[in-house]
Chains A and B, each alone.
Chain A
Amino acid sequence: MEVLKRAFDFSDFPRTDLCVAGTVALFLLVFPLLPHSSFAMATMIQFLMFSVYGMGWNTIGGYGGQVDLGKAQYVGIGAYTTAVMMIRWQVPFWVSLPIGMALAVGWSFILGYPLFRLRGHYFAIATIAVSLVLKDLFEAWSFVGAARGLKIPLRADMPSFLYLQFREDYYYYYVILGFFFVGLFYINWFRQSRIGYQLRCIKDNEEVAKSLGIDAHWAKIKAYAVATAFVAAVGSFHACYNFNIEPEDTMSLDLSVLIALMAMLGGAGSLWGPIIGAAVLVPMKNYLGAWFGAKAGLVGIDLIIYSAIIMGIAAFEPRGIWGLITRLRESRRS
């Protein structure tokens, strides 16, 4: 009971934050009723997906301070579990979702044990490497369609909530919006829980953390598993939403970097950060990408922009946009 109460307890935020958050939540709820283009709808769905990715990444990367650049492999595990089970055994989405999450979490425990022997940049590099290796394996593995990937066939009984197949995008929108709110309340509990405090202490100073009875290695593995569960869940959703999945789009380095980048841009280690980051970057990615791609044929320009953002965060405000806001507030108060 106390756990549930804490998940809905936002009382430590100032009132302005809560007003803004409430307005945004209301907007998200009614968005499909407002006039919008299908491109805008697709962008909103992507925004929600990346928000949830970012919330997950934020547990280990933000609160725990371990920069993980290999989250895409777990997106892939979630997506492939759902796709394979649906295609081969007609398993509904809502059944394969927890199985995909469990498989991803299991894999994260196996990887986390050796990975967290490493620190800092070495950890980040190792996460990239293992994620890419798994992608290469999937590209060669014919059971999962190898490099061509898998295509989930449309069902005769479509639309089907059980199999997450809809004709209109706004059904998908509300499903992922549900994920979004569940994730948000979970993270709100997480940040106030014992593991949340312990991770922040590990980020501050691991020696101090250990002297306070914290098994830092195990705490990181646990947070890594939580992050994994988040991205695997969205991965499963991604499989149904896109029908088509292939290693290149579910497990690529681009995706790993984007997940980390959005959370860091918005503000790693804060509740709103990943949402802000996704709200800025997803529309930018889609609209700029479309505009540049069509008008000027400048295909790789988005990568240049991402790099510039990474450098900007590193140089000016490691806590991202939310850090800027906090700093402005503090300076105004004093």
Chain B
Amino acid sequence: MALLDVKHLGMRFGGLQANVNISFQMERGEMVGLIGPNGAGKSTLFNCLAGVYNPTEGRILFKDRDVTGSRPYEMARIGLARTFQVYVATGDLNVIENIMVGGFMRTRSPRAAREKADSLVEKMNLAGLVQERVANLPVAAQKRVTMATALATDPDLLLLDEVAAGLNPSEIDQMIDVIRWVHHDLKVTVLLIEHVMELVMKLSHRVLVLESGRLIAEGEPAAVSRNPEVIKAYLGERYAAE
């Protein structure tokens, strides 16, 4: 049984059809990349999956339950966690407290939440930063905080929203290691939504390509990158022929 099963999903904002008839499945243990040019509807799809938007058409099945139209906190409790592109945490929670909040989803005990957070801090290279405010951290560390916070909820599926955006090449390499660890050691299924091709191509077992709200290609990274439709979508008509 598929962990995530998206059936004919469509999302319309007034006259704008942001997602059209999108269907795909994800198995437990997979790592799937979702790519597409700006405005292709990636974020809309992401928000539909995370429960932020209620899709206007189609159904979403997660762990064989129909979760279409569930609210974000319900999705989180069922086991679907997400990160944020820009982790806006202007307030007074520091790094460890942020991660603890994630841990509190599965426990009432502050001690258990703290232990959960401590174990993640170690692995996510945040050990020296636990007392810092998130807003004071460099971008790469903020991305790791939002990942650690999401992981503290013990998800089955983690949606990563552009975790490599704004990182330099060496930071991207570190991020790749972190995501591999999440996938391999924590046994979390991962959906990467990403602009940075290098990261998607290195990590994904399978890549989905969105263009103008439609799913135009699906397959292994190498095959997808040779697909003329995909090249056309990214580089324009002229390059597709070559």
Q: Taking beta carbons and an 8 Å cutoff, which residues of A are in contact with B? A: 2, 6, 65, 192-194, 197-198, 200-201, 203-205, 207-216, 269
A6 to B108, CA, bound (A): 13
Distance in angstroms from A308 CB to nearest chain B CB is 26
B100 at interface by CB-CB < 8 Å: yes
Main secondary structure of the interface of A (DSSP, over half): helix
Flag whether B73 is at the interface (Cβ < 8 A): yes
A210-B104 contact in complex given A197-B97, A200-B97, C-beta closer than 8 Å: no
Q: Which of B6-14, B37-45, B76-84, B195-203 makes up part of the contact surface?
A: B76-84
Given contacts A194-B113, A208-B84, A210-B73, 19 further A-B contacts (CB under 8 A): A2-B109, A65-B91, A192-B110, A197-B100, A197-B104, A197-B113, A200-B101, A204-B91, A204-B93, A205-B90, A208-B149, A210-B71, A211-B150, A212-B150, A213-B76, A213-B77, A213-B153, A214-B101, A269-B92
How far, in whole Å, are A286 and B45 apart by their CA atoms in the complex?
60
Assembly CA distance A303 to B111 (angstroms): 46
Q: Which partner residue on chain A sits nearest B108 by CB separation? A: A194
Interface contact B73-A198, CB-CB below 8 Å: no
> Are A211 and B82 neighbours in the complex by a CB distance under 8 Å?
yes
Return the chain B residue nearest A189 by Cβ.
B110
* B91 and A200 form a contact (CB under 8 A): yes
B137 within 8 A of A: no
Q: A204 CA to B152 CA in the complex, in Å?
A: 18
Residues of A within 8 A of B73 (CB): 210-216
**B1 within 8 Å of A (CB atoms):** no
Contact status B91-A211, CB under 8 Å: no
Cβ–Cβ < 8 Å partners of B111 in chain A: 2
27 contacts between A and B (CB under 8 A): A65-B91, A192-B110, A194-B104, A194-B108, A194-B110, A197-B93, A197-B110, A197-B113, A198-B101, A200-B97, A201-B98, A204-B92, A205-B90, A207-B72, A208-B84, A208-B89, A211-B50, A211-B76, A211-B84, A212-B76, A212-B81, A212-B101, A212-B153, A213-B73, A213-B77, A213-B153, A214-B105
A-B pairs with CB below 8 Å: how many?
86
Q: Chain B's nearest CB lies how many Å from the CB of A10?
A: 14
The 0/1 profile, CB within 8 Å of A marked 1, for residues 82-123 of chain B is 101001111111000110111011011111010000000000
A65 to B81, CA, bound (A): 25
With A193-B110, A194-B113, A215-B73 as known contacts, state yes or no: A209 contacts B92, CB within 8 Å. Answer: no
Query: 10 closest pairs, A vs B, by CB?
Result: A204-B91, A213-B105, A213-B76, A210-B72, A201-B101, A194-B104, A213-B77, A210-B73, A204-B89, A215-B73
B175 to chain A, nearest CB (A): 20
Once the chains bind, are A197 and B101 in contact (CB under 8 Å)?
yes
Chain A residue with the shortest CB-CB distance to B97: A197
**A6-B110, A194-B104, A211-B81 are known contacts. Are A200 and B71 too (CB-CB below 8 A)?**
no
B76: contacting residue among A2, A197, A204, A210, CB under 8 A: A210
Q: Which of B52, B81, B100, B102 has the most CB of A within 10 A?
A: B102
B56 CB, min distance to chain A CBs, angstroms: 21
A200 touches B92 (CB 8 A): yes
